Amino acid sequence: MAYNGNIGSLVEPDRVHRACYTDQEIFELEMDRIFYKSWIYVGHESQVPNPGDFWTTYIGRQRMILSRDDNGGVHVLYNRCPHRGALLCPERNGNAGKAFRCSYHAWQFHMDGSVRQIPVKNGYDNTRMSMENPAASMKKAERMGVYRGFVFASLASEGPDLVDWLGGAKAAFDDMCDRAPEGEVEVVPTCFRVVQKSNWKIFLENQLDALHPSITHESTGMAAKEIERQFEDRTGDAPPMSYGMLSAFTLPFEKWDSLETIGHPHGHCILQGYMGLRPSDPDSVHYEEIMKAAYGAERAEEILGVNIHHVLVYPCLSVQSPLQQLRAVRPLAPDRTLTEIWHFRLKGAPEPIYRRSLAYFYHVNSPSTMVNADDLHNFWSCQEGLSLDGGDWVSFHRNAGQDPEQDGIVTSVTGMSEAPMRNQFRAWKTYMTAGG
């Protein structure tokens, strides 16, 4: 079956058509109906700590600016001069001082996007580009929302507000920030960027696929386990915790199958369990004492007892909240996806706790790791195979029809259920068919 223009026919309860990953027309529709209608992650407030600071990013193919004004307000603006359309900020980030200044004709704009100065101002009197006309200012994102310091924007003027849209996915940001003694996180100001040779949906599907780790990453896990054994034999001591971040990929299927995934409306999903973040080493004990002093013993125990491995904020984020890191998804083409891998620091937490999560950032999530290389190969392999005529359908049959659902929330019957993939495509179909 070739794609015939009928979006609804491409998604069935237990399988989807390969055109969802390969067709250029479908990709263009995804930009219009998903990435320009949904809430998309822009950045964190701590990326622009000072007046005049800015970061540039994308929402779909639209180039956007995250900025902070003189009064401390944060804004999301289109990266475009309203005069002749020139790009205002070609740099990735910086400080613009009091105003953005267009390099073409020197129009100036306050950090909230409002026009500050127009050269030969009287030449625009009584025109649509006079100082008093909103058309002379930079265009703001149609909607902007902030949840616990994480900034989202939508290019649609109507839709659910950010908190309602996040729903159960708020757990990603609550878990991350609550683990900070001061209740906030701050960004580590450099991220890793990876261009994956695959469709954006393949990456998101993989994030909550609990079957693949023991297969895809077996060689990495076994190598780390062997080094752990040699370390113990040589020293008689337990190996450094960083080795365990990799040897954990040798977990048997039964362990992964004991996990649980929760599918929420709008395609969001949560993978619960596995992290085991309550070691009893001196650094962890010291951190827990600080948490109890900040929150009280009962509340601190509630926070530290949350056991979330991964949260998928569809369609734009993969969040590992216990380790303070997220990956933002920026689709480039049907077979190209940019992922930005960001790390955050728990405000008020001792330095060793930051260093521990930073080690995971480097060992597991950075572009140079064996773990990431394994995944990138699989993503590329799927994209290549989907371009062939060996079959039209992608299977999501594992535990299909078995996962209980109540009030729009799907709970997986096993940890290895493909319920997260089905939940994502149910949202995909809703977005895509609502557009026309």
Residue % of the chain over a pLDDT of 90: 83
* Helix axes of 200-207 and 370-386: crossing angle, nearest 10 degrees: 130
The pLDDT tens digits for 289-348 are 999 999 999 999 999 999 899 999 999 999 999 999 999 999 999 999 999 999 999 999
The pLDDT tens digits for 389-431 are 999 999 999 999 999 999 999 999 999 999 999 999 999 999 9
pLDDT for 20: 98
Q: Is the pLDDT of residue 277 over 70?
A: no
Q: Is the pLDDT of residue 275 over 70?
A: no
pLDDT band at 1 (very low <50, low <70, confident <90, very high): very low
Mean pLDDT of the chain: 94
pLDDT band at 436 (very low <50, low <70, confident <90, very high): very low
Q: What residues does CATH 2.102.10.10 cover in the chain? A: 40-154
Architecture of the domain made up of 40-154: 3-layer Sandwich (2.102)
Q: In this structure, how many other beta carbons lie within 10 angstroms of the beta carbon of residue 358?
A: 17
Q: Which residues of 377-402 are buried (b: 16+ CB within 10 A; e: fewer)?
A: ebbeebbeebeeeeeeebebebbbee
Q: Is the pLDDT of residue 223 over 80?
A: yes
pLDDT for 435: 59
pLDDT for 3: 62
Q: Is the pLDDT of residue 23 over 70?
A: yes
Q: How far is CA 295 from CA 179, 208, 285, 346, in A?
A: 10, 31, 15, 14
The pLDDT tens digits for 52-78 are 999 999 999 999 999 999 999 999 999
CATH class of residue range 168-210+259-434: alpha beta
Tokens describing residue 329: 């998804």
Q: 309: part of which helix (H) or strand (E)?
A: strand 308-313
Write the DSSP assignment of 240-268 as a string of letters. Answer: PHHHHHHHGGG--HHHHHT-EEEE-GGG-
Q: What residues does CATH 3.90.380.10 cover in the chain? A: 168-210+259-434
pLDDT band at 274 (very low <50, low <70, confident <90, very high): low
Nearest to 423 by CA among 402, 409, 433: 409
